[in-house]
Each structure stands twice: as structure tokens, then as C-alpha cells.
Amino acid sequence: MTGAHAPELGRVAGIRTRLIDAPLLRPWGDDVRSLHLIEVLVDTEAGVTGHGFSWTPSIGAHAVAAMLAHDIRDFAVGREADARALWPPLWRHLHEAGSGGVTTIAMAGLDLALWDAAGRAAHASVAELLGAPRSSVGVYGSGVNRHYPLGELVEQAQRWADAGYGLVKMKVGGRPLSEDVDRIAAVRETIGADTELAIDANQLWSLEEAEHAIGELSRFGLRWIEEPLRADDLLGHATLRSAVDVPVALGENLHTVYRFREAIEGGAADIVQPNVVRVGGITPFLAIAEVAEQADVPLYPHLLPDVSAQLAVAMSHPTLVEEVEDAGFERLGLLAEPGPVTVDRTVATVTGREGLGIVFA
């Protein structure tokens, strides 16, 4: 993934942050009614300002903002404004505070801003910097819908069917298995037999519960089961994977290339789903994508289509970008300028805006 060459930006001259709360048009549950972002602006000696962000859909935004405003700023200011060069020493410096989680989520804000600055300096998009051979990627419909009544869930499934998605995903778990059977049956009937269906348990099952549930649900022709167990339990996922005939997907809550390598080489996952912010930005995402490609393991970026699509168009392996209904930055009214990605039903197209192309209002 190499493309346009960015001029030197000099050193990091300053880092500015701002907390942004974004009420969701369709709440993701009683406890997730807003998304929380930390805008990160990085000023460089070359006079180019990079625009990045960190993201937490539920908790932790203030902790992320504090790490950016203190530990990360103290370390980064005065160093070369080069995302690839700065990421490894910064991660080593912050490692005592944790190898992932708040640490890497905060690092993502700086990393994304530096990639944005590099693109702006080169008058190129991030996708062009990565040498993307295409400008569009497919989209699949994703529902944060565990709390939806059955009728509302079926209405959403009908919207997916009307849009023509080839793959959709729904939530399961947290209720009696018989109810999940009824809900999946209703969605399958609505979308038809030719549309692929994935399910996401969001870490709610034990190993025994997962094996039993997947055995019952597999008759619906499932593309994958996502995070059936606690994400940290890679051994448990490997054990489950050997016992079921539905592909296992995980990765949205793994934070380093090391954990992704363990998941792949340890047989814990058929599919990996890194979140570009949770892993620490574009720099580590590229390393994870390389590990997955070498192992011939499919990679589906988790959420954040405004960034994920720009990475997906540069990937060698075919993939799809996940879109949750009415949750994009532009749809939520967060952007001061047109976004870097447009979604037309089942296709996401990178518009070619310079840098990352995300400027918050």
C-alpha cells in the first residue's frame, strides 16, 4: 500500500483537542444514546494542520481526552510529524498505562491527524497515499438492534432488503434462545434466502452457551457469528471454532497487531474485524491488514465507514464496509464540509478529498 508521496511536514508544533457529543438518531440501546468523539488537531512546522479524531460509542471519552492533552502531547510535540515513525515509540512510551483500550484509542486521534496532514501536504486523499487501486467498495447493512421489538426489527430488515444488500448483520444474545430463533427466522424470511446473514452476540455468551446457541441457529445459513465470547478469550474462541460449523469473527475489541496475530495463528477467528480507532489509527491497521492478508484471513473493517472505506479500497483482498443505519458522521450533522465517503445503497465511494477529509463542525 504505497501511493502519493507527501512533502516533509517538519515537527509536531502543537496538539489541540475538543470533546464532541453526538446524539444518535437511532439509539444503540438505553445506555448508548450518543457517540462521543475527541477532535484532534495537529499543527506542524510546515504550517499544515491535520484533522483527526478518537471515538468512544459509550464510555471513556474524558479519559481519552486527558491522555491526548497530557501524555501524548508531552511526548509528540517537537518530534517528526510522521505517523509511521511516531507510532511505535509513542506506544512504547504509553505502554505502562496499558497496551490497548484508552491508550490506543487516544493514539488514534494523533495518528489519523498525521495521516490527514500528510495527505493535505501532498494534495492527495489518504486512499491515494495508500495507492488505492479502486475508488469504491461494497457495503453491508449492520443493525445495532438487540433492543428493537420484533416488528421494528422486521421493518429494518425490510429496508435492508429494499436497498439490495448482499449481506446484513443483526444482534443476538441477552434473551432466551427461543426468542433469538424467532427473531432470526423473521429476518431471514424478510431478506430472503439469497442474502447472507451474520449475527453478533457482543461477547454475551459463555463457551457452553455459545456452542448450544450456534448449533440451534446455524440452520439459518449464517455467514458468521461475531464475538460469541469475551473478546479477550482467544483460547475459548479457538475451542468454540473447532466445535461449530459457523465461521467465527472477532476483532472490534482487540487492540494490537500482537493480539490479531494470536487470534489468527491460534485458530480463534475465521474473520477479523479491526476498528481503526480502537487499534490506534491507520498505522497499526495497515500492519494488522498485512498479517491477515499473509494468512489469507478475510478482514472486514469495523464501523466508521468515513475512514474504513478509505482503507478498504486500498486492500488487496476483497472486503465490505459496515454501515449502521443513520449513524454516519454526515447524517448526524457532525461535519463542517462534505464527507470523504458517499454511500449509495450498497456501494461506498471515496470522493478524493485531501487527507482524511473529515472536518468537524
pLDDT digits (tens, 9 = 90+) for 152-201: 999 999 999 999 999 999 999 999 999 999 999 999 999 999 999 999 99
Question: Pairing relation of β-strands 136-142 and 347-350?
Answer: antiparallel
Res 113: pLDDT: 98
Q: C-alpha cell of 8?
A: 516533509
- Domain architecture of the chain: domains with CATH: 12-123 (3.30.390.10), 128-350 (3.20.20.120)
Model confidence over 133-150: pLDDT tens digits? 999 999 999 999 999 999
Distance of alpha carbon 283 from alpha carbon 27, whole angstroms: 31
Q: Running DSSP on this structure, what letter comes out for residue 8?
A: P
Distinct helix (H) and strand (E) counts, the chain: 12, 12
pLDDT band for position 345 (cuts 50, 70, 90): confident
**Residues 26/157/195/180 CA torsion (nearest 10 deg):** 90
Beta carbons within 8 Å of 208's beta carbon, 6+ residues apart: none
96-117 per-position pLDDT tens digit: 999 999 999 999 999 999 999 9
Return the closest-CA partner of residue 288 out of 258, 314, 318.
258
The rounded distance, in Å, linking the Cα atoms of 165 and 162 is: 8
* Per-residue confidence (pLDDT) for residue 246, from 0 to 100: 98
**Mean pLDDT within 327-347:** 95
- pTM for the whole thing? 0.97
Closest to 29 measured CA to CA, from 141, 145, 143, 142: 145
**Bridge-partner residues for 5, per DSSP?**
none
Burial 250-271 (b: 16+ CB within 10 A, else e): bbbbbbbbebbbbbbeebbbbb
pLDDT-derived band at 235 (thresholds 50, 70, 90) equals very high
Which pLDDT does position 216 carry in this prediction?
98
Q: Grid coordinates standing for 16?
A: 489541540
Question: Does residue 2 have a pLDDT over 70?
Answer: no
164: left (phi over 0), alpha (psi -120 to 50) or beta: left
Which tens digit of pLDDT belongs to each residue from 289-307? 999 999 999 999 999 999 9
CB 122 within 8 A of CB 6: yes
Nine-digit cell string for 88? 511505535
Alpha-carbon gap, residue 199 to 214, rounded angstroms: 10
Q: Which residues are annotated as catalytic?
A: 171, 302
Cα(93)–Cα(260) distance, rounded to whole angstroms?
Answer: 21
CA distance 177 to 308: 33
pLDDT tens-digit profile of 7-57? 789 999 999 999 999 999 999 998 899 999 999 999 999 999 999 999 999
